[in-house]
């Protein structure tokens, strides 16, 4: 459990750095906008799924 969380955290950290490098290097506005949106959605999805335990919302019971 904790281990999965740390792996997800590492992925998020790497994505944040890549997001920054991507934004300062890509010159095309549209590509940058789409890339940033996709990254943000992925990061939000990862946080909701692993950190906020989204699946528990419909499983209903406290999973450990």
Binding site for other proteins (CB under 8 A): 1-2, 5-6, 9, 12-13, 16, 19-20, 23-24, 27, 29, 32-33, 36-37, 39-40, 43-44, 47-48, 50-54, 56-57, 60-62, 64
Q: How far is CA 22 from CA 17, 18, 58, 59, in A?
A: 9, 6, 36, 37
Q: CB of 25: closest distance to other proteins in angstroms?
A: 9
Q: CB of 54: closest distance to other proteins in angstroms?
A: 8
Q: CB of 34: closest distance to other proteins in angstroms?
A: 11
Integer Cα distance of 10 and 14 in angstroms: 6
Integer Cα distance of 32 and 21 in angstroms: 11
């Amino acid at each position: 459990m904790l281990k999965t969380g740390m792996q997800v955290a590492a992925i998020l950290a790497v994505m944040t750095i890549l997001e920054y490098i991507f934004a300062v290097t890509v010159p095309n506005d549209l590509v940058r906008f789409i890339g940033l949106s996709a990254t943000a959605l992925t990061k939000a999805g990862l946080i909701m799924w692993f950190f906020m335990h989204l699946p528990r919302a419909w499983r209903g019971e406290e999973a450990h």
